[in-house]
Amino acid sequence: MIALRFIIVGGDFDRAGTASSETKKILKQLNIDPKVVKRTVVALYEGEVNIAAHAFRGVVNISVSDHQIQAILEDEGPGIDDISRAMLEGFSTASPKVREMGFGAGMGLPNMKKNADELLVESIPGEGTTVKMIFEF
């Protein structure tokens, strides 16, 4: 079992993608099916960007076992008031600045759902959000 841990700082878009990029390198070294690597990386990147765009700070924990990759993204931030609404394609609460960069199109969580075999989103408004994703191989 391999475990990786990354810290994400809210508002830091320059480093968004670091966790996905590092994870991709490790998964490739482990010779995991490239299709699974691609799905994992797409979903993980969206999760990273969500923390950068919405939260104050967050932690990404990745673990790789014989048959699955598990990603847990925990943040401290405003949380999500209505998760089912946040899952809808096109729904976004991103700031104008974030949207100008091409983020915040309301496609992040839907992309995560499409690419993960399991997606669980839990949130306490005013405290933070935890996203758990599983990728089977």
Partner 1 sequence: MKVSELVKELNLVVFSGGEGLCHEITGGYVSDLLSDVMGNACEGEVWVTLQTHRNVVAIASLKELACVLLVSSLVPEQNTMDHSNEEGIPVLGTSLSTFEIAGLLYEKIKKAG
List residues near partner 1 by CB under 8 A: 13-14, 16-17, 20-21, 24, 38, 41-42, 45-46, 49, 101-103, 105, 107-108, 110-111, 114
Measured distance CA(24)–CA(109) in Å, rounded: 20
Least distance from C-beta 124 to partner 1, angstroms? Answer: 25
Closest approach of partner 1 to the CB of residue 32, in Å: 15
Based on CB atoms, which residue is closest to partner 1, 79 or 104? 104
The smaller minimum CB distance to partner 1, of residues 115 and 123, is found at 115
Task: Fill in the amino acid letter for 65.
Answer: S
Nearer to partner 1, 41 or 64 (CB): 41
Helix axis angle for 18-29 and 34-54, nearest 10°, is 160
Q: What kind and span of H or E run contains 11?
A: none
* Nearest in space to 79 (alpha carbons), one of 107, 49, 98, 56: 56
